[in-house]
Amino acid sequence: MATLHFDVARADWVGSCQTFKTRPSTRFKKVIAAYESREHVYLTKQLTVDGIQRAWDNKSTVASLGIHEGSLVVVHTVEDDDEEEDEDDEDEDEEEDEEELRSQDVLERPA
């Protein structure tokens, strides 16, 4: 099952507030390439995103771009399986960090 996510860009949208053209364009590719946020907020029926338009990235997959409360947003789906894998990866990273700290602590102790 896929979950719909709402990504908020870190910087406010800069430029005119004209509606985007619905055909693929270089403007969309630049916006998507410049998009760096990893913040996920679940969409609910109460949340409205103004001015959502369809956009194509350079892999020809579809994303939606729009403005919400003055910030650029991207709406896309994330497979639940992918989210579980990300959580597992984070757990493994934490365990590796703890092991590294333990080994450093052992090395730094005076004999």
User: Which sequence spans correspond to the domains of the chain?
Assistant: 2-78
Q: Which of 51, 73, 98 is nearest to 106 (CA)?
A: 98
As averages over each run of 10 residues, the pLDDT of the chain (111 residues) reads: 42 38 40 39 36 38 53 55 54 67 55 53
Q: pTM of this prediction?
A: 0.24
Q: Is 87 left (phi over 0), alpha (psi -120 to 50) or beta?
A: alpha
Q: What is the token pair recorded at 67? A: 């403005």
pLDDT of residue 46: 32
